[in-house]
Amino acid sequence: MKKPHKHADLIKAWADGAEIEFRCLDEWRRITAPRWDQDGEYRIKPEPKLDLTTECKIIGAYRSIMWNSTTGTVPGANLRLTFDGETGKLKAAEVIA
């Protein structure tokens, strides 16, 4: 029996509409018409990670209560922090009135 193409699963996913990326010089680039080289590195474009929002209630100069707002909110929260899902870095800070 003939051995399947090295990228057979990716080729099938691409045919079904998946976005494909090609590794070029240590960087992944979206490619619309892959050549499917045997030596090339391909992957399905990963889903972006969602941002994380956390609310806080600052109750004094050195005390605060933190709460992940995806599961609920802090009663009387007065600060909302949003972190980038990909990098984990602070993306936005909002004072809640």
* DSSP codes, 34-89: ----TT--EEEPPPPPPPEEEEEEEEETTEEEEEETTT---TT--EEEEE-TTT--
pLDDT of residue 55: 83
Dist. CA 80–CA 93, nearest whole Å: 6
Comparing C-alpha atoms, which of 52, 50, 48 is closest to residue 92?
52
Per-domain residue ranges for the chain? 8-44, 52-95
Express each pLDDT in 9-25 by its tens digit.
999 999 999 999 999 99
- Full-model pTM: 0.59
> Is there a contact between 62 and 55 (Cβ–Cβ < 8 Å)?
no
**Residue where the block lists tokens 């009135």:** 97
Q: Each residue of 51-94: pLDDT tens digit?
A: 988 888 777 777 666 665 555 667 778 888 899 999 999 999 99
Which residues, at least 6 apart from 14, have a Cβ–Cβ distance to it below 8 Å? Answer: 20, 34
